[in-house]
Amino acid sequence: MIKRSGYHGIPRWIYGVAAVGGLLMVLPLAAMLLRVNWPQFIPLITSESSLAALGLSLRTSAASTVLCVVLGVPLALVLARSEFPGQRLLRSFVLLPLVLPPVVGGLALLYTFGRQGLLGKSLELAGIQIAFSTSAVVLAQTFVALPFLVVSLEGALRSAGSRYEAVAATLGARPTTVLRRVTLPLVLPGLASGAVLSFARSLGEFGATLTFAGSLEGITRTLPLEIYLQREADADAAVALSLVLVAVAVAVVGLSYGRRRSSSPVEVGP
């Protein structure tokens, strides 16, 4: 939308290019909508295998989001607030899954947690088998989604600064109390949007799961894997399920942006 008043300094031709960019995002989705077999839509997405895949996707994504929060908050704190040798290297490695092809991530996980992997042998001796289990799906999703939470939270931590924490400490609060009562409430919006992004990324995870976890209905075959498989046999089912995935993703992202708009930004002095 163009503001009615005020100078915005955007050359007019920019709108043309922006429109092309927007179309590139919107057109494929619209094209997919056109291909949906609407009369069969409900039966297609409520088939046993579809519901199993959707349910598994929601459960594993929720679990990996929790795991991302549990592991990502300390990681973001360490990266944003402390200084130690190798910190930049650690940050690069944490961000790596953002740019790594998911299949590569899957292979890396395989060589770590697989039966012949680095930790897998010891885990198997301890009676823990990760490969071909739902835990493998959660692990793969956490691997690819963790950077989203860390990046988002680290940014929030940096822009919030640590002055409130300093004041809290001089008031007698122990570091753990400061974290619980000051730091986390202050960066809650950043944490929430990071968690939402992690959930969305987990929901869309495909490559690492396929490589690392396998594909079995109800155990490891998440929605993206089900779509990939159905594409071979029943294109209508694949399109219908894709639409469900798009709808869930839109709902999740919309929810996050809605929340961020409505919540008042943290006031940080100059």
Partner 1 sequence: MSFELQASVRARNFDMALSLAEGETVAILGPNGAGKSTLLGVIAGLLRPDAGSARIGHKDLFKLDGRTHFWSPPHLRGTALLAQEALLFPHLNALDNVAFGPRSGGASKAAARETAQHWLAEVDALPLADRKPSQLSGGQAQRVAVARALAAQPELLLLDEPMSALDIHAAPLLRRVLKRVLRDRKAIIVTHDILDAYMLADRVIVVEKGRIAEEGSTRQVLERPRSHFAAGLAGLNLVSGTIASEGITTPDGRVFAGQHDPDWSPVPGQAGVAAFPPSSVSVFLGDVHGSPRNSFPVTITDLEPYGDQIRVRAGDGHSAQALSADITPAASADLGLVPGMEVRFVVKSALVSVYPA
Partner 2 sequence: MRISRKPFAAVLVAGALAASLGACASGTTRPSTGSASPGSAMSGEITVFAAASLKTTFTQLAKDFEVQHPGTKVTLSFAGSSDLATQITQGAPADVFASADTKNMAKLADQELVDGTATNFATNVLEIAVPPGNPASISSFADLAKPGVKVVTCASQVPCGAATKTVEKATGTALSPVSEESSVTDVLGKVTSGEADAGLVYVSDVKAAGGKVKGIPFPESDRAVNTYPIATVGTSKKKELAAAFIANVTSEAGKKVLMDAGFGTP
Question: Which residues contribute to the site for partner 1 (CB under 8 A)?
Answer: 163-164, 166-175, 177-178, 181-182, 185-186, 188, 264, 266-267, 269
Alpha-carbon gap, residue 155 to 258, rounded angstroms:
19
Neighbours of 230 (CB within 10 A): 22
215 binds, among partner 1, partner 2, none (CB under 5 to 8 A by kind): partner 2
When the beta carbons of 197 and 229 are compared against partner 2, the nearer one is: 229
When the beta carbons of 192 and 241 are compared against partner 1, the nearer one is: 192
CA dihedral (53, 58, 63, 65) in degrees, to 10, reads 130
Cβ-Cβ contacts under 8 Å for 228 (sequence gap 6 or more): 206, 210, 238
Least Cβ distance, residue 228 to partner 2 (angstroms)? 5
Least Cβ distance, residue 205 to partner 1 (angstroms)? 33
Determine the interface stretch with partner 2 among 2-10, 62-70, 111-119, 180-188 (rule: CB under 8 A).
111-119
Residues 1-20 that bind partner 2 (CB under 8 A): 12-13, 15-17, 19-20
Q: In this structure, what token pair is assigned to residue 199?
A: 């959930």
When the beta carbons of 190 and 224 are compared against partner 2, the nearer one is: 224
Q: If residue 140 lies in a helix (H) or strand (E), which one and from where to where? A: helix 134-160
Among 64, 152, 220, 256, binds partner 2 (CB under 8 A): 220
Q: Please give the distance of CA 74 from its chain centroid, rounded to a whole number.
A: 17
Among 69, 228, 252, 260, binds partner 2 (CB under 8 A): 228
**Residue 22 found at the interface with partner 2 (CB under 8 A):** no
The DSSP output letter for 6 is S
Among 56, 144, 204, 221, binds partner 2 (CB under 8 A): 221
From residue 74, give the alpha-carbon distance in Å to each of 53, 63, 94, 192, 241.
32, 18, 13, 15, 36
Residues 135-164 that bind partner 2 (CB under 8 A): none
45 binds, among partner 1, partner 2, none (CB under 5 to 8 A by kind): none
Least Cβ distance, residue 211 to partner 2 (angstroms)? 7
Least Cβ distance, residue 231 to partner 2 (angstroms)? 8
Q: In this structure, what token pair is assigned to residue 221?
A: 């075959």
Least Cβ distance, residue 96 to partner 2 (angstroms)? 21
Cβ-Cβ contacts under 8 Å for 165 (sequence gap 6 or more): 178, 182, 183
Q: Are 161 and 90 in contact (CB under 8 A)?
A: no
Sign of the CA dihedral 65, 70, 71, 75? positive
Interaction site with partner 2 (CB under 8 A): 12-13, 15-17, 19-20, 110-111, 114-116, 131-132, 210-211, 213-217, 220-221, 225, 228-235
